[in-house]
Amino acid sequence: MQQEVVLALLAKEPSHGYELRARIERGLGPLAAGFNAGQMYVTLGRLEQAGMVTSTREASVERPERRTYELTAAGRERVEEWLTDVTWPRPDLTNFHLKLVVAAAGRLADPVEVIASQRRELVRRLREAQRAALAEPDGSDASLLLEGVVLRIGADLTWLDACERSWGAAR
């Protein structure tokens, strides 16, 4: 989970640690199974060091969930920046391509075979994701996310088809 998500959760008003945790768990819904509260407090600590968040202790209790966290002006700025940010993870196909190149050059393996095995794995993953998607209720967040996963694996598979055509013809 990104730092900025936690920052944004504090944008409306300051809140206690346990409140923050509850909000996150609610928002994730069924995906909350993988959520680790400890990591959240570590993140909050880092944010405090970076000057984006301030925290105040409650009386004499020294437990992170009882602390009150609040955004600073810098923190607010950061949230606004983040909301309009359009960075997107880049697809990274170069490694696989290099694998094929060195396999062919060194006669270590048949590139077409390599592609075929990769394909089978991706198909397996696609199948998993699609089945999981169909198991979720229509229109739920989970099904939407899984649709995204499915589509991206599908795109990769299409690219692998193109690779196969290209490498197969080069033989």
Partner 1 sequence: MTAAVRVLALAKHYGEDEALIRAVDDVDLEVPAGESVVVVGPSGCGKSTLLQLMGGLDRPTSGEVWVEGRRVDGASERMRARLRRDHVGFVFQDFHLMDELTAVENVELPALLAGTPSRQARRGAIALLEDVGMADRERHRPAELSGGQKQRVAIARALVNRPTVLLADEPTGNLDSTATTGILRLFDRLRAGGQTLIVVTHDQRTAATADRMVSMRDGALVEDVALPSTATSAADILSVGTRE
Number of residues this chain uses to bind partner 1 (CB under 8 A): 42
Site for partner 1 in 98-127 (CB under 8 A): 123-124, 126-127
In angstroms, rounded to a whole number, what is the distance separating the alpha carbons of residues 45 and 61? 17
Exposed / middle / buried, residue 146 (Cβ in 10 Å: 0-12, 13-18, 19+): buried
Shortest distance (Å) from residue 116 CB to partner 1: 10
Is 89 an interacting residue with respect to partner 1 (CB under 8 A)?
no
- The vertex-64 CA angle with 61 and 67, nearest 5°, equals 65
Two structure tokens written together for 13? 């008003």
DSSP-based three-state secondary structure for 52: coil
Of 114, 153, 163, 167, the one binding partner 1 by CB under 8 A: 153
Which one-letter amino acid corresponds to residue 87? T
Site string for partner 1, 123-142 (x = CB under 8 A): xx-xxxxxxxxxxx-x---x
In angstroms, rounded to a whole number, what is the distance separating the alpha carbons of residues 123 and 150? 10
Residue given tokens 């359009």 in the structure block? 86
In angstroms, rounded to a whole number, what is the distance separating the alpha carbons of residues 104 and 121? 21
Shortest distance (Å) from residue 4 CB to partner 1: 10
Shortest distance (Å) from residue 156 CB to partner 1: 9
Of 11, 74, 101, 151, the one binding partner 1 by CB under 8 A: 151
| Largest pairwise CA distance in the chain | 75
Site string for partner 1, 16-55 (x = CB under 8 A): ------------x-xxxxxxx--xx-xx------------
What residues make contact with partner 1 under the rule CB under 8 A? 1-3, 28, 30-36, 39-40, 42-43, 123-124, 126-136, 138, 142-143, 145-147, 149-151, 153-154, 157-158, 161
